[in-house]
Amino acid sequence: MACSATAQAVRIEAAELGQGFILKEDGICWALLPRHLLDETGLISVETSPAPSTLGSGEAYADFWDGMDFAVGYVGQAAGAASCTASLDGIEQTSASAGTNLSGTLRFVEPGGALVQYPMHIVETLNHKTFVAEFRNPAQTAFQGMSGAFLFVEDHPIGMAVRTPEGQRQMEFIRIEEIAFATRRWLDGRARTVVAAIDTPDDGLADVGDRRHQLTLVSYNTAPTAAELGPEGLAREDGAYHFDFDEVVRLTFGFEDGEGQGIQRVRIVSEGTGAKPLTVRVMVDPSNDQSSPQQFNRGQMSPDGLFDTGIRSERFARWVTILIESVQGQGPVRIDQIIVE
């Protein structure tokens, strides 16, 4: 079945892997997902469908009533700017529901954005908040990473999977009516403080000043195209790094004073018209021996050469690792600045 641009199923990468749904309200892209995918930081990465996918990242908030396995998060970067087209009004006004429909299709987004659809039928309506659906194919069962997948009737979501016991044919869903009510209430209240932070004016790159941490290059895995174009210049802030992309490029930095620092934002700049990074993953590690890497952000560099995590909840780190997972353009790739604040 063909999927319209408004069927906004997405893949979620957080403390756990899962699925979700994105929509735009007042110009901001929001992700709807289960609470249990999150850790205390609330950091999420989002990958859209259908392929080729776009990436985005943000923070999610689970401040709903006890027992509701639900969270809402904002989504920035390419996924939030260009790929978020569904609306909350569309969910609130839909006539599709688990009460009037007894079958639908579960939409699951794979890495890379491919969309897999699983026919299901509703076997228990339980109450006004939840229902249970079962795979129509006896050979299909729930698996890890399926939590947060939405059940659709045509292009209308009717529920989000929250209990997906691995190997079982049945899953429990929160009804779309409950999700729409909770989302609207949250956006009309708690979201105002989140929006204020998102809308904080960007101070640009010209005057980073004391916020910029001084870095030392610890290790890298990809040789530069010439000796004078190595990654050491990124730490010294006096030269660009040029390299040929054949595998995931890893750059690990420590801090000049040898101590850990609080990290709120990472920006990467690629100047000129040549090849640039595309998919970027930022890891932070608070340990002394680089044994505890944690994802800080994953997203895509814009075509004009800027990757920006935005201002995020502060994370303590002794090491910062930049992973270049894919590139855009042809020829040697160029990185001019890595700014850690």
pLDDT digits (tens, 9 = 90+) for 91-144: 887 767 777 778 999 999 999 899 999 999 999 987 889 999 999 999 999 999
**Which of 114, 36, 113 lies closest to 79 in space, CA to CA?**
113
Average confidence score pLDDT of the chain: 88
To which residue do tokens 């970067």 refer? 77
Same domain? For 297 and 243 the reply is yes
- How far the first Cα of the chain sits from its last, in Å, is 46
The residue among 155 and 244 whose pLDDT is bigger is: 244
At 269, the pLDDT band (50, 70, 90 cuts) reads very high
pTM summary value: 0.77
CATH code of the domain in which 316 resides: 2.60.120.260
H or E element at residue 280: strand 279-285
Same domain? For 188 and 155 the reply is yes
Question: CB–CB of 256/216 below 8 Å?
Answer: yes
Question: What average pLDDT does the segment 41-58 reach?
Answer: 88
What percentage of the chain reaches a pLDDT higher than 70? 89
Same domain? For 71 and 185 the reply is yes
Same domain? For 335 and 215 the reply is yes
pLDDT value of residue 33: 97
CA–CA separation, 127 and 270 (whole Å): 54
Cα dihedral 126/128/132/133 (nearest 10)? 130
Question: Which DSSP symbol is given to 275?
Answer: B
Question: Which DSSP symbol is given to 94?
Answer: -
pLDDT value of residue 3: 40
pLDDT value of residue 203: 56
Exposed/middle/buried for 226, CB within 10 Å: 0-12, 13-18, 19+? exposed
Q: Is the pLDDT of residue 169 over 80?
A: yes
Q: Number of structural domains, the chain?
A: 2
Same domain? For 145 and 262 the reply is no
Question: What average pLDDT does the segment 15-37 reach?
Answer: 93
Single out the residue in 200, 222, 249 at which a domain terminates: 200
pLDDT in tens, 279-309: 999 999 999 999 999 999 888 898 889 999 8
Cα dihedral 295/299/304/308 (nearest 10)? -40
Question: CB–CB of 285/254 below 8 Å?
Answer: no
What the block records as the tokens of 95 is: 């006539």
At 157, the pLDDT band (50, 70, 90 cuts) reads very high
Question: What average pLDDT does the segment 215-242 reach?
Answer: 94
Q: Is the pLDDT of residue 196 over 60?
A: no
pLDDT value of residue 181: 92
CATH code of the domain in which 27 resides: 2.40.10.120
Degrees to nearest 5, angle at CA 109 with 93 and 330: 120
Same domain? For 244 and 148 the reply is no
CA–CA separation, 167 and 108 (whole Å): 16
Category of 167 on φ-ψ map: left (φ > 0), alpha (ψ -120 to 50) or beta? left
Question: What average pLDDT does the segment 177-181 reach?
Answer: 93
pLDDT value of residue 63: 83
Residue type, 330: Q
H or E element at residue 29: strand 28-33
CA–CA separation, 220 and 142 (whole Å): 40
Single out the residue in 176, 200, 224 at which a domain terminates: 200
Single out the residue in 177, 200, 223 at which a domain terminates: 200
Mark out the alpha helices in the chain (DSSP H runs).
77-82, 88-92, 176-187, 191-198, 232-236
Q: Structural domain of residue 29, as residue ranges?
A: 1-200
Same domain? For 143 and 225 the reply is no
Q: Is the pLDDT of residue 41 over 60?
A: yes
Question: What average pLDDT does the segment 176-195 reach?
Answer: 83
Question: CB–CB of 134/148 below 8 Å?
Answer: no
**Which of 244, 261, 252 lies closest to 338 in space, CA to CA?**
252
Question: What average pLDDT does the segment 237-241 reach?
Answer: 90
